[in-house]
Structure formats: structure tokens, C-alpha cells
């Protein structure tokens, strides 16, 4: 991890999916039996906020002190920001460091991301995903600057549908 300059790695997903392999739920016992002792690398798991609407998250999310994870990436769409805020608060009470990922950024205006940055102030990091892989470097910079105008701790998740993932990430 030091050679790569990485201090956080996302291992998989927590949710109710049971037929997608052992990482679909990031089962704690499965992971604990396979992970080496990690000194500097912190681990994250992902949740989709819509999967938890109306569900008891305690059934799949242990307290951080009982988990191999320190961080949680909460994926949300802009129309579910209120649910994302609830999930951020919930994850903090469980002892996790919340990161929020706004999906579908190509469908959003920069002002939408500015408003999201304001409403999700409790999250450690806020970033946006080019879920459709349809943004170009200039658009990525504009959207990132919209978040940066409100807060530190921001980022970008690329998809390579147009072959621009690396160019967008470099921008």
C-alpha cells in the first residue's frame, strides 16, 4: 500500500444481495479470516442508500468497533439526498467515517452538486460519479469545482464508456 500511495481501499458491498459471491455482503467473518494484519491501510465498504430505505440496516451493518472497516461509501442519487443525510448520521453513530458518492453526475448541473455539498456537510468526503461515462475533462473540472467551492474533501469516480476515464481523472 505504501508503494501505491494508497491509504484507503474499498473491498466490496454491504446489502441484502446473497447470490453475488462472498464480497456482495462484505461478510465480516469471511474477510477477517482472509485479511492480513493491516497497519496503515484502512478499509471501506459501499452501500446504496436506496437499498436501505425501509430496511433495518442493523441486520447487515455491525458497529465499526466489531468490523474490519473504518469507512463507508454511501452511493446516492441527487433525489435521495435526504436519505443520504440519514445514512451519514446513522453510519456515524455506528462509528464509521462516511464518504458520499453522488451518482449520475452527467445528468446534474454544477449548482446541484453545490447544494449537495451544503446538505451533506457531515460526510468526510463528497465526490461525484460519472455513472454514464459521458463527461469530458472540462465538465469534470467544473463539477469538482462546484463541490470545492463549498468544502474540502471532494473527489471523482470515473467510468470509461467513452474512453475518457483516465483523461477525466488526470484533469
Confidence category of residue 26, pLDDT binned at 50, 70, 90: confident
pLDDT at position 29 = 82
pLDDT at position 4 = 66
Contact 117, 154 (CB under 8 A): yes
Q: Is the pLDDT of residue 117 over 70?
A: yes
Q: What is the pLDDT of residues 45-67, one digit of tens each?
A: 999 999 888 788 888 899 999 99
pLDDT at position 62 = 92
Q: Average per-residue pLDDT in the chain?
A: 88
Neighbours of 34 (CB within 10 A): 9
Return the sign of the alpha-carbon dihedral for residues 88, 91, 93, 98: negative
pLDDT at position 17 = 64
Q: Is the pLDDT of residue 1 over 60?
A: no
Rounded mean pLDDT of 79-108? 94
Would you call 169 helix, strand, or coil by DSSP? helix
Q: What is the pLDDT of residues 140-162, one digit of tens each?
A: 999 999 999 998 888 888 999 99
For every residue of 74-123, DSSP letters joined together read EEE-GGGHHHHHHHHHHHHHTT-EEEEEE--GGGS-HHHHHHHHHHTTTS
Q: What is the pTM of this model?
A: 0.88
Confidence category of residue 134, pLDDT binned at 50, 70, 90: very high
Rounded mean pLDDT of 99-127? 92
Q: Is the pLDDT of residue 3 over 80?
A: no
Amino acid at each position: 500500500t505504501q508503494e501505491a500511495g494508497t491509504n484507503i481501499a474499498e473491498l466490496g458491498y454491504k446489502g441484502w444481495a446473497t447470490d453475488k459471491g462472498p464480497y456482495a455482503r462484505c461478510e465480516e467473518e469471511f474477510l477477517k479470516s482472509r485479511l492480513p494484519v493491516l497497519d496503515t491501510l484502512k478499509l471501506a465498504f459501499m452501500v446504496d442508500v436506496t437499498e436501505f430505505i425501509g430496511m433495518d440496516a442493523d441486520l447487515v451493518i455491525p458497529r465499526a468497533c466489531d468490523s474490519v472497516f473504518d469507512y463507508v461509501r454511501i452511493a446516492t442519487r441527487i433525489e435521495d439526498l435526504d436519505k443520504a443525510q440519514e445514512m451519514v448520521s446513522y453510519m456515524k453513530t455506528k462509528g464509521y467515517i462516511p464518504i458520499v458518492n453522488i451518482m449520475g453526475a452527467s445528468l446534474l448541473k454544477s449548482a446541484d452538486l453545490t447544494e449537495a455539498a451544503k446538505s451533506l456537510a457531515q460526510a468526510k468526503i463528497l465526490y461525484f460519479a460519472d455513472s454514464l461515462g459521458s463527461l469530458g475533462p472540462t465538465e469534470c473540472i467544473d463539477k469538482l469545482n462546484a463541490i470545492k467551492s463549498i468544502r474540502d474533501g471532494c473527489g471523482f469516480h470515473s467510468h470509461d464508456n467513452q474512453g475518457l476515464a483516465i483523461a477525466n481523472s488526470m484533469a
